[in-house]
Chains A and B, each alone.
Chain A
Amino acid sequence: MEAGRFAGTRMMEKHNAETRDTVLVRLLRDRYLRWVEGAILLLILITYITFPTYHTLLSQIFIFTLFVLSLDLLVGYAGLVTLGHAAFFGVGAYSAGLYAIHISPEPLSGLVVATSSAAVVGLVSGALILRTTGLTFLMLTLAVASVVHEILNQAGELTGGADGLRGIEMSPLLGIAEFDFMGNTAFIYSAVVLVVGYLFFRQVIRSPFGRQIVGIRENAIRMRAIGSPVYLRLLAAYTISAGMAGTAGALLAQTNQFVSLSVVTMERSGEALIMLIFGGAGKLFGAFVGVPLYMLLQDLLSRYTPIFWVFWIGLMLVLIVKFAKNGVLGVGTRLLNKYRSRHG
C-alpha cells in the first residue's frame, strides 16, 4: 500500500473523503441510462400493440439489433474492425436449424447450442487471426467468413447448400407458445432475448473487462505496459461477440424456420457495419438506433426509388462518416452537450 502513496505531505490537505465520494459518484453515474432503457422497453411494448401486422418485420429488427450489438463489442469497444461477423451469425443460424431438425425442436436449448457453437468458432478463428492487426486482421476476418460460407455451401447434404436449410419445425416456446403465423410469439421471443442480450452486453462493457477492452482500443501499447494481456482480452471479447452473433442467427433460424446462405455473406457483415455506423459505434444504444433507422430507410427508399435506393444509403453513409462522427447518437450527444453548456 505505502509504495504507491506519496511520501511527503499530500498536496490537498483540505481534500477529504466526502468530496472525493461526491466527485466519484458524479464520475461513475450514468446520466439518463434508466430513462433511455425504459423508453426503449416502452417502445417495444407500444409497437407490439399498435403494429400487429408488422410483428414479423419487428422481430427481424430485434434480431439484427442483437447482431449489431455483438458487432459493436468488437468494432466500437475493442476497436477491431471486422468484415466477417456474419460468419458467427451464420454458424448460429445453421446450428439452431440443424439442432431443431436432427436433435430437438425445443427452441431454448437450440439457442444455447447455437450460441455455444458460434462462440467456439469465434474462439478458434480468433485465436488464429487476433495475432494480426489492422488491414491484415480485416482481410483475415473476410477469409474466415468465406471459409464458413464455402463449408456450408459444400456440405449440401446436411445444410441444403444453395437451396437453404428447410424443414425446421419448432416446438412451442416453453411448451406453451406456438410459433404462430402472425409472428406474435416470434416478436415476444426475440424481444425478450434482445433485452437479455442487451443486459449482458451492458454488464460486459461496464465491467473492468469491458473498460480494459476500451483501453486496448485506445492504446494497446500502453495496456501492455501496464501489464494487461492484450491478446487474451481481445480473444475473450471476440469469443463473447461471436457467441452473441450466434444467438441472433439462431433467433432468425427459429423464427423464420428457414436458413439460407445469405446469412453468411459479406453483404450481411457489411450491412451490419453500416447499421452500426448509422447509429453510432461504441455507444451503448448505437445498435438500437442504427438498425431500425437503416431498415426503415431501406423500406422507404426501396419503395419510392426502387432502382436507386442503394445510392441514397451510400450517400448517407458518406455524409455520416464525413460529418457525423459516432453516428446519429454522436450528433445527438453533441447537441445535448451544447444545449446544456449554454443553458447551464
Chain B
Amino acid sequence: MVNLDEESVLTTRGLTLSFGALTVTNEVDFDLASGARHALIGPNGAGKTTFVNLLTGILRPSAGQILMNGADITGATPEQRVQHGLGRTFQINSLFRELTVIENVAMSTMAQQGIGHQVFGASSSMKGCFEQAYEVLCDFDLQHVADKQIKNIAYGEQRLVEIAIALGLRPKVLILDEPAAGIPSSESHVILEVLRKLPSAVSILIIEHDMNLVFQFASRITVLVQGVVLLTDTPEAVGKDTRVKEVYLGSR
C-alpha cells in the first residue's frame, strides 16, 4: 500500500499491540502522505482509538515502528511527538472549561512558541501568542465568543475550539479523533466546512463515524477491522468494496 509518488510524513511499520493473548493492533503498515486528507474507518472495536493512542504516544506498541518524516518516534513521549509536529484532537471534548475561548487556544500557541516556562520578560511574546490565538479563532469564525468561558458556549462551538487548540500548535500532522462526535449528522456539514478550510500543508488523519463526512472530506480511506488493515484506497473504491460492506452490514 505504500504510495511511492508521495512523500509519507507519518509511517507505521508492523505496528502491533497485544495485551496477553489479545492483539488489538496487528502489524499495521500505514502511510500518511504529505498534505493528505486521510480517513481511518472501521466498525466499533476495530482498534481505531488504540491506533491513535499508539500514534500519539499514550500507548507503547509491543512491536513495530512509528516514523515521522523519517525520524523514529516509536519511543518518544507524547510531548516529544508534539515537538515533532504531531497535533491531535479528542473524541470527547478536552478543553480548559473555566477559561475563555481565546485562553484555550493561547494555551497551545504559547506551548508552540516554547515560552511556557517563562516567568519574567515574556509579556510581549505572550501578547504575540494571544494575537496568534485570535487569528486562529477568526479562521474558525469564533472571534465573537473569544472572551466567553468554554462552559458558556454551545457544544458545536466547543467542538470547533477542540480543533482550534490543536491548530494553535501549527502541526505538520493533525489527527482528528471523531471531530463530529455528538453533532447530529444533519449539522455535521458545519464541521466539514471548517475541516475543508484547514491549511493544505497540514497532513490530516481523521477518524470518524459519520460516513457522509468521511466520503466528502477524505481523498483516501483506510479500513481497520479487528486491528488489521483491511484495505487502503480512494473513497470510490472503498465504497464499492464488497468486503467493506460485509464488515459494516454483515455477510448475507
CA distance A221 to B96 in the complex (A): 10
CA distance A11 to B155 in the complex (A): 21
Out of A4, A209, A226, A232, which one reaches B107, CB within 8 Å? A226
Known contacts being A3-B199, A11-B138, A23-B146, is A211 close to B106, with CB within 8 Å? yes
**B116 near A224: Cβ-Cβ < 8 Å:** no
**B99 near A208: Cβ-Cβ < 8 Å:** no
* Chain A contacts for B141, CB-based, 8 A: 11-12
Q: Is A344 an interface residue (CB 8 A)?
A: no
Out of B56, B98, B118, which one reaches A209, CB within 8 Å? B118
* Chain B contacts for A236, CB-based, 8 A: 117
Q: Is A26 an interface residue (CB 8 A)?
A: yes
CB-CB contacts below 8 Å: A1-41 with B: 1-8, 10-12, 15, 20, 23-24, 26-28
0/1 interface trace, chain A 206-244, chain B, CB 8 Å (1 if under): 011111101100110111111111001100100000000
Out of A8, A11, A222, A227, which one reaches B79, CB within 8 Å? A227
**B130 near A222: Cβ-Cβ < 8 Å:** no
CA distance A60 to B127 in the complex (A): 38
**B108 near A226: Cβ-Cβ < 8 Å:** yes
* Chain A contacts for B205, CB-based, 8 A: none
Q: A283 to nearest B CB, angstroms?
A: 12
Out of B79, B83, B87, B139, which one reaches A6, CB within 8 Å? B139
Q: Is A204 an interface residue (CB 8 A)?
A: yes
CA distance A28 to B83 in the complex (A): 28
Interface centre among B83, B116, B134 (most CB of A within 10 A): B116
Q: B55 to nearest A CB, angstroms?
A: 12
Q: A26 to nearest B CB, angstroms?
A: 7
CB-CB contacts below 8 Å: B89-146 with A: 90, 94-100, 102-103, 106-108, 110-112, 115-120, 122-123, 125-127, 129-132, 134-136, 138-141, 143, 146
* Chain A contacts for B90, CB-based, 8 A: 222, 225
* Chain A contacts for B132, CB-based, 8 A: 4
**A24 near B134: Cβ-Cβ < 8 Å:** yes
CA distance A210 to B99 in the complex (A): 13
Known contacts being A4-B170, A203-B119, is A24 close to B127, with CB within 8 Å? yes
Q: Is B82 an interface residue (CB 8 A)?
A: yes
**B119 near A221: Cβ-Cβ < 8 Å:** no
CA distance A239 to B47 in the complex (A): 42
**B82 near A5: Cβ-Cβ < 8 Å:** no
Known contacts being A11-B138, A219-B95, is A3 close to B119, with CB within 8 Å? no
**B126 near A208: Cβ-Cβ < 8 Å:** yes
**B117 near A8: Cβ-Cβ < 8 Å:** no
**B116 near A208: Cβ-Cβ < 8 Å:** yes
**A4 near B199: Cβ-Cβ < 8 Å:** yes
Residues of chain A at interface, number, CB under 8 A: 42
CA distance A20 to B168 in the complex (A): 17
**B165 near A11: Cβ-Cβ < 8 Å:** no
Q: A179 to nearest B CB, angstroms?
A: 32
Q: Is B28 an interface residue (CB 8 A)?
A: no
Q: Is B247 an interface residue (CB 8 A)?
A: no
* Chain A contacts for B111, CB-based, 8 A: 212, 223, 226-228
**A210 near B197: Cβ-Cβ < 8 Å:** no
Known contacts being A11-B197, A27-B146, A211-B110, is A225 close to B170, with CB within 8 Å? no
CB-CB contacts below 8 Å: B200-226 with A: 200-202
Q: B112 to nearest A CB, angstroms?
A: 8
**A6 near B197: Cβ-Cβ < 8 Å:** yes
**A3 near B172: Cβ-Cβ < 8 Å:** yes
0/1 interface trace, chain A 267-285, chain B, CB 8 Å (1 if under): 0000000000000000000
* Chain A contacts for B127, CB-based, 8 A: 24, 28
**B198 near A226: Cβ-Cβ < 8 Å:** no
Q: Is B41 an interface residue (CB 8 A)?
A: no
* Chain B contacts for A12, CB-based, 8 A: 138, 141, 143
* Chain B contacts for A207, CB-based, 8 A: 118-120, 122-123, 126
CA distance A225 to B174 in the complex (A): 12
Interface centre among B112, B134, B140 (most CB of A within 10 A): B134
Q: Is B167 an interface residue (CB 8 A)?
A: yes
**A212 near B134: Cβ-Cβ < 8 Å:** no
**A214 near B99: Cβ-Cβ < 8 Å:** yes
Q: Is B78 an interface residue (CB 8 A)?
A: yes
Q: Is B72 an interface residue (CB 8 A)?
A: no
CA distance A214 to B149 in the complex (A): 14
Q: A325 to nearest B CB, angstroms?
A: 11
Q: Is B159 an interface residue (CB 8 A)?
A: no
Q: B162 to nearest A CB, angstroms?
A: 9
Q: Taking CB as reference atom, which chain A residue is nearest B147?
A: A27
Q: A27-B147, A226-B111 given; name 17 further pairs at CB < 8 Å.
A: A4-B167, A5-B135, A6-B197, A7-B200, A11-B138, A11-B197, A12-B138, A12-B141, A15-B143, A20-B134, A28-B130, A207-B122, A208-B115, A208-B126, A209-B116, A225-B90, A227-B79
22 cross-chain CB contacts under 8 A? A2-B199, A2-B201, A3-B171, A3-B202, A4-B199, A7-B201, A10-B138, A23-B146, A24-B127, A204-B119, A208-B115, A208-B129, A211-B103, A211-B126, A212-B116, A218-B95, A222-B94, A222-B165, A223-B111, A224-B79, A225-B56, A226-B107
List the 3 closest A-B pairs by CB distance, nearest first.
A227-B82, A4-B170, A218-B96
